[in-house]
Amino acid sequence: MTQVHNARHYKYYDLVMAAFVTVLLCSNLIGPGKVCNFWGFTFGAGNLFFPISYIFGDILTEVYGYARARKVIWAGFGAMIFATFMSQIVLRMPVDAGEPYNKIIQPALETVFGNTWRIVAGSILAFWAGDFANSYVLARMKVMTEGRFLWMRTIGSTAVGQAVDSVIFYPLAFLGTWTPGKMLQVILFNYALKVAWEALNTPLTYAIVAFLKRAEQEDYYDRTTDFTPFSLND
């Protein structure tokens, strides 16, 4: 299939990309540092905000198309790799013993940012695969529905993307540490929480999509798109 390149310049595309990467980094760096218990259910605080990255992914694919969303996913992937690299370097730098504050901050940094390689790798790989699955499903559904039923496409694509994310992250990060029953419980609850967030934010998604389509004069359909994730072409 021949890829038709979209060489247009957009007013808000870069801002949406920046917002996506910001949410992604914050939810993966700040969120995992705290485990919450709400009505007897245990979950990482990052799960409250990580689904927002899927909303941005839906908006990008719906307005600008899969190829433009693909660039943003790779930007997020690169940002997570760099953040991980930077955190590990900072943690391993020699501590100035003459600064009393270091006795407090170093253990705190190790607690928040000192995740094992399994958790780091699981998080990065799960994000990459889940976001591409989300964008692919939404783009295909848009063509199939001829642009109708946005709510069905955003929720449906998120359901697929989050399923891919969950089945990669939790086994890779915690297999052998958690019992199978505990892992299944966490996967199901967090999956339901993330998809529910997407559904609850449907009115907001509609509003942002409508605004961007008017402002950018764009409503891209991926009829001739090359859906390989390993490209940065528009």
**Which pLDDT does position 53 carry in this prediction?**
92
Find the mean pLDDT for residues 37-50: 76
Q: Sketch the domain layout of the chain as residue ranges.
A: 13-216
**Degrees, nearest 5: CA angle 80-193-155:** 85
The fraction of the chain above a pLDDT of 90, given in percent, is 68
Task: Render pLDDT for 159-189 as a digit per residue (tens, 0 to 9).
Answer: 999 999 999 999 998 888 888 988 898 889 8
* Integer Cα distance of 184 and 168 in angstroms: 13
Residue reference for tokens 């998120």? 158
Q: What band does 6 get if pLDDT is binned at 50, 70 and 90?
A: low
Other beta carbons within 10 Å of 146: 8
* Integer Cα distance of 56 and 21 in angstroms: 10
Burial of 190 (0-12, 13-18, 19+ CB in 10 A): buried
Task: Render pLDDT for 66-95 as a digit per residue (tens, 0 to 9).
Answer: 999 999 999 999 999 999 999 999 999 999
The whole-chain average pLDDT of the chain stands at 90
**Which pLDDT does position 121 carry in this prediction?**
92
Task: Render pLDDT for 201-233 as a digit per residue (tens, 0 to 9).
Answer: 999 999 999 999 999 999 999 999 999 999 998
DSSP 94: P
Task: Count the residues in the chain.
Answer: 234
Burial of 185 (0-12, 13-18, 19+ CB in 10 A): middle
Q: Residue 20 has which token pair?
A: 């996506």
Classify 224 as helix, strand or coil.
Answer: coil
> Which CATH number does 13-216 carry?
1.10.1760
**Which pLDDT does position 36 carry in this prediction?**
77
